[in-house]
């Protein structure tokens, strides 16, 4: 009987450790994804601010075109990939930028899971 109780206790401890490991892995993946989304959003926010500043010297461009530019999106993807890698996360699958009706939304897909961040973008509002 004592052997059975010890075996059950060992199985329970093993199950608890596996569950704990999965929880830690999910938490680490979530944190890496959130950091990646924030990094990509910082790059997009910089491009937004650069366009606002440049409008003093030249005619303005459509903000959705500026933020959706392939070079800007690649810089955002690269920043997201770097931050995900530094935090032990998955590779970046995709970065999306949406600029309409006020906020600027940035989405980063890591291993099929989407993480999002946004900032106020009044230049994205229809006039």
- How does pLDDT run along the chain (127 residues), one tens digit per residue? 776 666 666 666 776 677 776 777 777 788 998 999 999 999 999 999 999 888 888 888 888 889 989 999 999 999 999 999 999 999 999 999 999 878 999 999 998 999 999 999 888 866 5
| Residue recorded with tokens 């093993």 | 14
- 36 SS3 class: helix
Q: What is the reported pTM?
A: 0.78
The DSSP call for residue 87 is T
> What is the per-residue burial (b if ≥16 Cβ within 10 Å, else e) of 96-116?
ebbbeeeebbbbbbbeeeebe
Q: What would the two tokens of residue 2 be?
A: 């004592």
Q: Which pairing describes strands 103-110 and 92-99: parallel, antiparallel, or unpaired?
A: antiparallel
């Amino acid at each position: 009987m004592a052997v059975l109780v010890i075996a059950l206790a060992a199985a329970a401890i093993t199950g608890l450790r596996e569950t704990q490991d999965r929880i830690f892995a999910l938490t680490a993946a979530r944190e890496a994804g959130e950091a990646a989304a924030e990094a990509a959003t910082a790059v997009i926010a910089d491009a937004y601010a650069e366009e606002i500043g440049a409008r003093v010297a030249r005619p303005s461009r459509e903000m959705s075109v500026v933020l959706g530019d392939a070079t800007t999106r690649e810089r955002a993807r690269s920043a997201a990939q770097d931050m995900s890698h530094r935090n032990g996360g998955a590779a970046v699958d995709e970065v999306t930028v949406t600029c309409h009706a006020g906020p600027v939304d940035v989405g980063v897909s890591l291993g099929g899971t989407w993480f999002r961040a946004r900032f106020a973008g009044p230049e994205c509002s229809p006039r």
